[in-house]
Amino acid sequence: MVTIFTLIFLVLGLIIGSFLNVVILRLNTERSFGGRSGCMTCMNQLSWFELIPVFSFLGLRGRCRKCKANISIQYPIVELITGFIFAALFLKFQNVFFYGQTLVFSFTYAYFAAAFSLMLVIAVYDIRHKIIPDTLAIALGILSFVGLFFFNTSGFYPHIPSILEFASGLFIAAPFALFWLVSAGKWMGLGDAKLAISIGWLLGLSCALSGVVLAFWIGAVVGIALVIFSKKHGMKSEIPFAPYLVLGTLLAFFFELHLF
């Protein structure tokens, strides 16, 4: 039974991931989020069998059926990551689901699924454009602040947040804001500080601090590897940090890390 429901939520994540790709590609452009999808090169409208998450990419061998232009690997990667996140969320809160608390499970699942979907869009958009849009940062900030009153990393927990819980976002964001201020934006972007506020509210101070430290560790390892092995990156290359923050957040949340 668990396997069946896990697969159902995996498929749901794949479908949502397909929509997230649309948001990432059309955000801050003149194109709306509605309407039929089409090839980014020849603008040919896609048929239904070309819109199946992951499988269409594999079936088409990563090329447009009409013009044979390469399809970005971003499509299946975002879909798969979203699918895994949605499946992992079900596994994390499966006890609530199987104990018959369907409404509680629905609220909890929808909240964290929306938060992590926004984070994934932010991470991929930062990779593509090296900037975090204010619209996404504000939306995530509002969502995570509201969640202070209803959720914690263990699930549904309606309560009046403590002063520490209110301040957790500011505590996590403060070092990022300081780096941005001291370096005039050269070391760290202000968007990372805005994202860090949401992470603090979403995870709480202890878990968020663990996620941020993981992000710096992973970022350092990847950054050094890029400098050593990639000719496109040097010591002064601009590397987006949001993907590492999001990865650290996911690891801290799903494994309930409290490193300090």
pLDDT in single tens digits along all 260 residues of the chain = 899 999 999 999 999 999 999 999 888 886 666 666 766 667 777 776 777 899 888 887 878 877 877 888 999 999 999 999 999 999 999 999 888 789 999 999 999 999 999 999 999 999 999 999 999 999 999 999 999 999 999 999 999 999 999 999 999 999 999 989 998 877 788 999 999 999 999 999 999 999 999 999 999 998 888 878 777 766 566 789 999 999 999 999 999 998 88
132 phi-psi bin (left φ>0, alpha ψ -120 to 50, beta other): beta
In a domain, 115, yes or no: no
Domain count, the chain: 2
Mark whether 142 and 231 lie in a shared domain: yes
Give the separation between CA 160 and CA 226, rounded to whole angstroms: 45
Mark whether 59 and 168 lie in a shared domain: no
In a domain, 97, yes or no: no
220, amino acid identity: A
pLDDT of the residue at 167: 95
Q: What is the rounded (10 degree) CA torsion for 249, 241, 82, 79?
A: -170
Mark whether 140 and 259 lie in a shared domain: yes
In a domain, 87, yes or no: yes
Mark whether 170 and 259 lie in a shared domain: yes
Mark whether 170 and 53 lie in a shared domain: no
Domain housing 253:
132-260
Mark whether 85 and 176 lie in a shared domain: no
pLDDT of the residue at 141: 97
In a domain, 188, yes or no: yes
Give the separation between CA 74 and CA 54, rounded to whole angstroms: 10
Whole-structure pTM value: 0.92
pLDDT of the residue at 29: 80
First and final C-alpha spacing in the chain: 37
In a domain, 203, yes or no: yes
In a domain, 104, yes or no: no
Mark whether 83 and 182 lie in a shared domain: no
pLDDT digits (tens, 9 = 90+) for 20-72: 999 998 888 866 666 667 666 677 777 767 778 998 888 878 788 778 778 88
